[in-house]
Structure 1
């Protein structure tokens, strides 16, 4: 890691017995561009506890010193502690995973890091909620069409910085994954060129909207697919709003195809 600190802008940590998905470098490049202006310590492109983690090369010397200081401790726990010490309180894990473990998991039981199996998600849940927006509707589409599961979508034009489409959940929920798709399903045209997804709590007012929002992540080429984590695993804090926020003002047409939400089972 010390050696690599001056060779590039980013550093990918990857172990052996790992299969990479096709075009994983291109996918990671697009995500890193989208996250370039946001603060982060570790981006995770896999559910594996070791492989698929990306760091700023400028952090490598500090990370290497931290690992050497606690030799013998489980490596995956040290990586998590390093993230926490660098003021990133929750993981940033992008989906779908770009790295999968191959072979026998038992071979790694005595290794310096534990094995985390990939979480399998079923169909999205999309709990009951209303949709509010300050964008114009076209072609008889409705804002709610972007959240109702199916083929419907919301079509608008000339979005400007600060415009939003917000899902306000009927009841607060423990959400585990969010996927947002913008642009045409056929060729991706009319996607939101600059935007981000924020998660809100404490809804109030009429129409209801959340008082507090935190960033989940920026859109990557108009889309987002990301796991949702909480600062404390046993936290009772649940989210009430999911906001798609436009950050640019230089596009004409916009298709918000779908917002998909997965909730904690059980």
Structure 2
């Protein structure tokens, strides 16, 4: 062995990082902004979305729209959406920026939307790269640049909020996604590094913002060796998180078909993403919904009665005499009721033994569930569902104050109420 030859060591990598982060100029974040009236006040969550010019479909506008549609007015003040236009095509950046300004004027006025760009000098050499993957040169260069894109986005975002979540530019989400994130965070008592809200690639990965500077450095250190969706798993282990925490069901779905790498298609679907659309489409007059069963905020009892997508899902198995009550704001003449429980992905989490009752009287007892009385049995659940077509033949011409689902026996599974559909009796024409 030639002991005179210099051996490449780990220290050599540290001495020559791909980008020297100490040389970022003062106030560089302000220089990076394309839209200048973004807020810097500390918020709860930053959603980071890198995007580049694509040969075919552009997804970024629909992705931002999905996030905005699924965020309440109050929640918009708790998040930042950082869109990184990570392409050096000035004309393309100008066009996307203009469309973002026109379409999202409201969240720009709230300081919620950041649109940023990087300078080419931030990027290390992207030619003649040595990879551990046997790929064409174009793919090596694309992957290496994507890694640096991620790192720049991390560095820009680290001061904005308490948490940072990585997104891609071709996803959509569901109403209640922010509360689902909060609930999952609060579930953990031990220290965690990364929580995942999609099983795919580098989508929906949540970090403490204090950690993403370290993640940026690790991504840059191995920018030419491996993709970020490998690096982040190694980073989690180095930070002493030895298993993945994937929330199921997941709340972000990949919808893009054409990759940002020219010629590549990626028809990826998350096995654990479900938006739970309503199919029965009842009239469902105004009502409050209550239950004796515990649940996480995202799977609250209002979901299964609302006309919007969503379900109720308990966090323990059903017990005898557990109940679920729909209390109408005004007593209703009802002709038909349909209730479905369980889902195609969790068919065993249905109601196994229960009855449905209609209350013909109620009395308010302060805030919360009213006292429902004068109950009439409408029927029993069969294989998780119940359908009552002749409600008035049982209740007569009485108006119904409450509907009560009452479990008649314990069950080993949790309880999903997928949809409650109430149909109002129509007056017959004279």
Q: For residues 160 and 171 of structure 1, do their structure 2 counterparts lie closer, same or farther at Cα, with a shift above 3 Å needed? A: same
Distance 1:165 1:133 in 2: 4
Match of 1:204 among 357, 363, 380: 363
Q: For residues 126 and 140 of structure 1, do their structure 2 counterparts lie closer, same or farther at Cα, with a shift above 3 Å needed? A: same
Q: Which residue of 1 aligns with 2:354?
A: 195
Deviations 1:80-138 (A, max 9, x none): xxxxxxxxxxxxxxxxxxxxxxxxxxxxxxxxxxxxxxxxxx94100000011111013
Distance 1:185 1:173 in 2: 32
Alignment of 1:1-266 (within 5 A): 123-138=281-296, 140-156=298-314, 157-186=316-345, 188-206=347-365, 207-231=369-393, 236-266=397-427
TM-superposed CA distance for 1:196, in Å, is 1.2
Distance 1:231 1:255 in 2: 29
Where structure 1 has 5 or more consecutive residues not aligned to the other structure, the ranges are 1-121
Contact 1:167 1:242 in 2 (8 A): yes
TM-superposed CA distance for 1:209, in Å, is 3.0
Deviations 1:125-169 (A, max 9, x none): 000000111110136311111211232111002211101010001
Larger radius of gyration: 2
Where structure 2 has 5 or more consecutive residues not aligned to the other structure, the ranges are 1-279
Deviations 1:228-263 (A, max 9, x none): 333599x54111111111111132311111110000
Distance 1:216 1:223 in 2: 13
Distance 1:132 1:227 in 2: 24
Distance 1:138 1:248 in 2: 23
State the TM-score, normalizing by the size of structure 1: 0.50
Deviations 1:169-202 (A, max 9, x none): 1111110000011101446221011111111111
Contact 1:199 1:215 in 2 (8 A): yes
Matched residues, number: 144
SS in 1 for 2:303: helix
Contact 1:175 1:228 in 2 (8 A): no
Deviations 1:188-219 (A, max 9, x none): 22101111111111111323131121110100
Q: Which residue of 2 aligns with 1:28?
A: none
- The structure carrying a bigger helix percent of its residues is 2
Deviations 1:22-76 (A, max 9, x none): xxxxxxxxxxxxxxxxxxxxxxxxxxxxxxxxxxxxxxxxxxxxxxxxxxxxxxx
State the TM-score, normalizing by the size of structure 2: 0.32
RMSD across aligned positions (CA): 2.1
Contact 1:191 1:256 in 2 (8 A): yes
Decide which moves more: 215-224 or 182-191: 182-191
- Following TM superposition, the consecutive aligned residue runs of length 4 or more in structure 1 with deviations greater than 4 angstroms are none
SS in 1 for 2:403: strand
- The structure carrying a bigger strand percent of its residues is 1
